[in-house]
Amino acid sequence: MRRLSGLRAESEWLGRIFEPRRMSYAVKEIFLTVQGEGVRAGTVAVFLRFAGCNLWSGLERDRLTAVCKFCDTDFVGTDGDNGGKYDAIGLAQQVANLWVGRGEKWVVCTGGEPVLQLDDTLITALHSQGFKVAVETNGTLAVPDSIDWICVSPKANAGLVQTFGDELKLVFPQPENHPSDFVDMGFTHFCLQPRDDSYLGDEKKTNNSQAAFQYCLENPQWRLSVQTHKSIGVP
């Protein structure tokens, strides 16, 4: 009996050593809003913004040497609304706490680059809370198969790994990328979004909306994506 107890204790000890480490997710912010751009514009969703990106540090001092130089989002740290470090169950519960009312429940995983952290464990936890899971990614990493909506937004000369999905949303113009580079890829919808140059300041800001509008007129495979959330002043 003493031998069996010893074996049980040894087994539990080994189990603790070799148990997979629980993933910790670094989250900038989580908030309920109406999606402002792309095919799903106007749809209520919880936005789950992960900290970190593989194309820019998020620090202004590094912008000029970054792969992506025109990012308009703060994804540094975990100090935003409901930001912090979470495990999968806790993060899914926090997302669920923000949903109100009826309707199809969507969570949009964004960043930064969400696929640096988003994995099947978290997706399963979000599904268990009744959510469909969308991702907005730069496409440089493969998206988990269990995602319900894939939106890829190519950036500069970063090579695409994720070449299929529901939506390709191209910020326009980009010297390294032309819309014609992507039309034969496996996406259902193609959106052209005017590049927001507001980070340059008013004196250097250019208005890219007319150019994107004209391109869509001449190439109707593309849908114009306008950032309505910025127009009406909501997150």
| Residue-level pLDDT at 62 | 97
Residues shown for the chain: 235
Give the global pTM: 0.85
Please report whether residue 11 resides in a domain: no
71 is catalytic: yes
The pLDDT of residue 183 is: 97
Q: Is-catalytic flag, 72?
A: yes
Question: What pLDDT does residue 188 have?
Answer: 98
Catalytic residue from among 33, 73, 78, 228:
73
**Is residue 48 included in any domain, yes or no?**
yes
User: Could you tell me where the DSSP H helices lie in 58-191?
Assistant: 88-98, 120-128
CA 63 vs CA 55, 155, 224: distances in Å: 10, 14, 27
Task: Note whether residue 6 is domain-resident.
Answer: no
Active site residue 136: yes
Domain that holds residue 103: 23-232
Is residue 16 a part of any domain in this protein? no
Task: Find the CATH number of the domain harbouring 153.
Answer: 3.20.20.70
Grouped pLDDT means (10 residues each) for the chain, 235 residues: 46 42 87 94 97 97 94 95 98 98 96 98 98 98 98 96 98 95 98 80 66 96 88 71
229 part of the active site: yes
Looking at residue 200, what is its pLDDT?
Answer: 57
Give domain status of residue 134, yes or no: yes
The active-site residue out of 74, 127, 163, 229 is: 229
- Judge whether 1 lies within some domain: no
Asked if the structure places residue 170 within a domain, the reply is yes
List the structure tokens of 17.
């050593």
CA distance 199 to 204: 9
* Number of helices and strands in the chain (H, E): 5, 9
The count of domains in the chain is: 1
118, 191, 167, 115 alpha-carbon torsion, rounded to 10°: -10
Q: Is residue 13 part of a domain?
A: no
